[in-house]
Amino acid sequence: MPLFKCEICGCIENTACGHYWSKDWPQFKGTILEKALCSECTPTTYPNGEINTRGGKWHGKFEKKQATEKHKGTLENY
């Protein structure tokens, strides 16, 4: 499963569960959503005010763990 390091809290997240693939979308440039975010650090609203990002809480699909130096090179963005 492809994993990444959250740019806010530093935890390990799955690219399918967090805000990773859409971080480079033009409409998110200049906002918090231009970062790779775990489900908990993803805001609950989009920059345009629309609610339903599915963010704001940990998804619970696996245990939340911090990325460490041993993970360097094994995560999509670390």
**What amino acid is encoded at 32 in this protein?**
I
User: Residue 34 is encoded by which pair of tokens?
Assistant: 């231009």
pLDDT of residue 54: 83
Q: Is the pLDDT of residue 6 over 80?
A: yes
pLDDT of residue 73: 92
E-strand stretches of 1-78? 3-5, 12-14
Q: Is the pLDDT of residue 24 over 90?
A: yes
Residues 36-76 pLDDT 10s:
999 999 999 988 888 888 889 999 999 999 999 999 999 99
